[in-house]
Structure 1
Amino acid sequence: MVPNFSLRQLGYLVAVADSGSMTAAAEAEHVSQAAISAGINDLERRLGVRLLARHPGHGVSLTEPGLGILADARRVLAAASDVLSQARAPGSDLRGSLALGCFTTMAPLYLPALYDSFAIQHPGLELTVVEGAQEDLRRALMNGTCEIALTYANRLGPGVAMEMIRTLRPYVLLAASHALADRESVTLHDLADEPLVQFSLHPSPNDIEELLRNAAVTPKVVHSSPNIEVVRSLVARGLGYSPMLQRWPMNVSLEGLPLVCVPLESTVPDYRVVVAWPQNDHLSRRAAAVISFLRTHATEHPIRAEAV
C-alpha cells in the first residue's frame, strides 16, 4: 500500500516538534506558517489521528500519538535521505545528515576525530551530535532524535542492536601520593575503608555499585559529581578514590596535580564501548561509515585501559 502522505509533511511535523512552534518551523523550512499548518492538518486527516495540541499564544506540543509518529517520521526521513545520497553519489561519497548520540565522557575522546578526519573524508555529510547520559541516549534512539549512539553496552535495555568499538578494563583512580599508587593492581577490598569520590552520570553509579556489591564492599561516598573533571580533581587532591572505565590520555587533573590509574584485579568484568541503534532500524550508509571510522580510530589509537 502506497502512503497517501508526503515526506514534506513528515518534515513539517519534525520541524514543529524540534522548534516548538509553527512560526519557528516555518522559518526553519523556509515556507510560510500557513503552509506548515496546512501540511500538518492534512497529515492528521490522512493518518486519522491528532498529532499536535495547539496552545494559542504558547506554541504547540505533540500528542501521545504524535510522539509515536514523530519517531517513525524521523526514521522515514533518514531512510529517504539515504536513498537520495545513494542515487546522487553512489560508492563512497556520502551526503545528507546524521544525528549521533554520544555518552558525555566519551565526547572529548572520539568527537574531535569525527569532526576533523571523518569530515574531511566525507565533506558532503552533515554530522550533528547529542551528548548525554545513558538514559538520554536510549530515549534519543527510541524517539528517532539520534540515528546511532556511541556509549557503553550495559544498561541500554531491550530493542537495541550494537556493534563493539573497544573493550575497557575498570581501574581505580588515585592521587599520586596515595599509599597504593605504586601497586601493579588493587582490589576493591584494598580500598574498602577509604572515601569514594563518585562519578554520578548514569550508568556509572549503577556499574560501580554492582562492582562494589560483588566484592562485598560498602562504599563510603564523600563526594559525587556528574562532571568527570571535578571527580578527577577531587581525587588528585587526595580526597578519595574513584573506580573508572574510560582512561584519560594524561594522568593529571585540570589543576595540574598528578593522578595514577591502577588496574583492578582481573576478576572484575570488562566493559564494552559500542555504537547502538534501534534493533528494527535499517543501518544507513552514513551510520555504517561512522561505525567503521570509529572502529578504525579505536584500533589505531589504543589506550592503556583497553582489554586485549
Structure 2
Amino acid sequence: MELREMRAFVAVAEAGALSKAARQLHVSQPALSQTITALERRLGVQLLVRASTGVQATEAGMTLLTEARAVLARHDQALAAMARHTTTGGGVLRVGVPLELPPELVPAALARLAEACPDTRVQARHLSSVAQVAGLRADELDVGLVRERPAGPDLDAALVVEENVGVLLAADVAEKLAGPDGVRLEKLAGLEWFAFARAGSPAWYDELAAILRSHGLDVGADVPEEQRMIVELKIPAVSTGGAYAFAPPAWPYPMPDTVRWLPLTGNPIVRRTWAVWPAASHRRDIAEFVAALEDHQRGGSRV
C-alpha cells in the first residue's frame, strides 16, 4: 500500500461519503472511487460497503482504518519533526481548513506553493476555528484558516478572505421576500435560523447573532457542539420553507431548483477568514502559502 492510498481510505471511512472525502482531499469523486477499488482489489478484501446513503467500513475495513491511522500519524510526526530543522520548507505542511471556503482559494495557493517549495507536501484537515487554534498551539497544525482572529502574541494572522454572505431560502419563500437588490435581513423574521454550534467559532457566532438581533430576528437556542451543523443539511433544512441559512456567493455545493441563494440588501453580513500560524515560525513554505492566500484576497476580494 502507498501512503496516498491509506490517506484516501481513511478520509472516506471517516467522512462516510465519497463525495465529502473527495472535497476534503481536493480530488474528483471518480478518481477517489478508483483508488479505493484498486486498494480493495490489491488486498483481496472488501473494505467499504457502498449504499445510497454513503459508505461504511466492513470488519476488514475497520482493521485497516486502525492500522492506517497509526502509520499516517507516525509518518506525519516524523516529517513535522524534520521540518523544524529547516527554514526552507520540505516535509509536511499541516493546514486546518473550515467549510465553505471559496473553491478556488486553496487550490490556487497550493499551486503556487508547489512551484516555490516542491518538496513540501500539504496535509489538510477540516476543523472548526477553535479546534484549529488549539491545534496550532499544540504543534498539531502549521497553518490554520479560521473565522475569527485569535488573540495573543504567539500567533500571527493575515486576512485572506472577505465574503458578502447571502441567504439560502426555499424557492417559493425567496420569491415572496426578494426585492430588486436581494432580501432585506429583517424580512427573515418568522423563519428559523439554521445555525452552527457557537463552540466552534464563538466570536463569529456572536458577531452574526448581534447582527440578526439588531434587525429584529430571533437567534434561537445555541446548537450543542455534538450536533454541529453539516453543510449538506442546509439544503433540506431550508427547502421546507420554515428556515433560512447563510452561505457565500460561491457556495461549492449542488443546489436543487427548490432552493435559491439571494444576496442580502446592503450586505449587512461580511464573513472574514484569517490565515494563522505560529509567530515564532521561520518556515519558507508557510510564508509562501500565506502570501499566495493574501494575493488571492487582494486580487479577488468579494467586498
Fold conserved between structures, TM > 0.5: yes
CA distance in 1, matches of 2:222, 2:82: 48
Shift in alpha-carbon separation, 1:75–1:95, aligned structure 2, 3 A: closer
TM-score (norm 1): 0.59
Amino acid at match of 1:193: G
Amino acid at match of 1:260: W
CA distance in 2, matches of 1:238, 1:222: 21
8 Å CA contact 1:199, 1:228 repeated in 2: no
Shift in alpha-carbon separation, 1:222–1:207, aligned structure 2, 3 A: closer
Deviations 1:173-210 (A, max 9, x none): 22332212344144432212222222337325434322
8 Å CA contact 1:153, 1:271 repeated in 2: no
8 Å CA contact 2:96, 2:145 repeated in 1: yes
8 Å CA contact 1:99, 1:128 repeated in 2: yes
Deviations 1:32-63 (A, max 9, x none): xxxxxxxxxxxxxxxxxxxxxxxxxxxxxxxx
1:97 paired with 2:92, answer yes
Shift in alpha-carbon separation, 1:186–1:259, aligned structure 2, 3 A: closer
CA distance in 1, matches of 2:257, 2:252: 10
Which structure 2 segments of 5+ residues have no match?
A: 1-65
Residue 117 of structure 1 and its aligned partner are, at CA, apart by 5.9
- Identity level (%): 17
Instruction: Please list, as runs of the form range in 1=range in 2, the aligned pairs for 1:184-199 lying within 5 A after superposition.
Output: 184-199=181-196
Higher RCO (CA < 8 A, seq sep 6+)? 2
Instruction: Please list, as runs of the form range in 1=range in 2, the aligned pairs for 1:75-224 lying within 5 A after superposition.
Output: 78-82=83-87, 85=88, 94-106=89-101, 110-114=105-109, 118-119=113-114, 122-154=117-149, 156-159=150-153, 160-177=155-172, 178=174, 179-200=176-197, 202-203=200-201, 205-219=205-219
TM-score (norm 2): 0.60
CA distance in 2, matches of 1:278, 1:170: 29
Amino acid at match of 1:239: G
Which structure 1 segments of 5+ residues have no match?
A: 1-19, 30-69, 86-93
8 Å CA contact 1:148, 1:277 repeated in 2: yes
SS in 2 for 1:135: helix
SS in 2 for 1:265: coil
Shift in alpha-carbon separation, 1:230–1:282, aligned structure 2, 3 A: same
8 Å CA contact 2:197, 2:229 repeated in 1: yes
Shift in alpha-carbon separation, 1:132–1:158, aligned structure 2, 3 A: same
User: What count of residue pairs does the alignment treat as equivalent?
Assistant: 225
Larger Rg: 1
CA distance in 1, matches of 2:123, 2:102: 12
SS in 1 for 2:242: coil
8 Å CA contact 1:171, 1:243 repeated in 2: yes
CA distance in 2, matches of 1:262, 1:210: 19
